[in-house]
Amino acid sequence: MARSRRLDGRRLYLCCPDRPDLPRFLAACIRGGVDVVQLRDKSLEARPLLARARLALEVCRQHGVPFILNDRPDLALELGADGVHVGQDDAPPTLARRIVGPDALVGLSTHDPAQLEAAAREPVDYLSAGPVDPTPTKPGRAGTGLGYVSHAAAHTDRPFFVTGGVTAESVAKMVEAGGRRFVVVRFLTEAGDPEDRARVLRRALDGALAAVGAPEA
């Protein structure tokens, strides 16, 4: 799909909730090597979420990074966001596509081979695969392990981003399993110096990609 070409060369996707220092935090992460941003906050009502998303969008526009809003295609349309990401229990991808239109990105979370197979019939531009390790952002969901990363690499032609436990220490094994793009959450959201931490992760990712002969961004 032509839309998905906007993800070409993009490897490190930050997913984060709202936070008091949101614009400063996002700018620091982008300077460190993040090249896609998603705002995912399940606690904010529509109007406050829209206001915070506008701040995030402005930072992303300044740095030339795609901005994705989680779960709310209606607000993504209002913002003029680059896209929306939906989960298995959110708005169906067909509805998200009708709302955001033909030019925006639509992403979909997958957690097992059946969901990955079903995603092939959906109007989505990219997928996420995981979580490899259990994560508090998805309470109650078991980790998929690296086997699902390998399965996704072998069974989808859509760009997919590995989720769950992405750190500077874990990313090499995920690359060996077939991952090429990654979603990072706590490794950056819990960092005292997010720019430095992002730079460390990006360096580890680029090194792991080089080691298997995959192109860096």
* CA–CA dist 23, 26 (Å, integer): 5
Alpha helices in the chain (DSSP H): 22-32, 46-63, 73-79, 93-100, 113-119, 146-155, 171-176, 186-189, 194-211
What mean pLDDT do residues 185-207 have? Answer: 98
Residues 52-57 have a mean pLDDT of 98
For the chain, where are the E strands, in sequence order? 12-16, 36-39, 67-70, 83-86, 105-110, 126-129, 160-162, 182-184
pLDDT tens string 21-52: 999 999 999 999 999 999 999 999 999 999 99
d(CA 23, CA 45): 19
Q: Could you tell me if 114 and 148 are in contact, meaning their C-beta atoms sit under 8 angstroms apart? A: no
Q: Taking the domains of the chain in order of start, what are their residue ranges?
A: 10-211
Digit-coded pLDDT (tens) for 130-152: 999 987 766 666 789 999 999 99
Residue with tokens 């959450």: 185
Percentage of the chain beyond pLDDT 90 is 91
Tokens of 112: 């097992």
Are the C-beta atoms of residues 22 and 46 closer than 8 Å to each other? Answer: no
Bridge pairing between strands 67-70 and 160-162:
unpaired
Which CATH class name applies to 10-211?
Answer: alpha beta
pTM exceeds 0.85 for this model: yes
The CA distance from 125 to 160, in Å, is: 9
Q: Rounded to the nearest 10 degrees, what angle do helices 46-63 and 22-32 cross at?
A: 30
Beta-strand relationship, 12-16 and 182-184: parallel
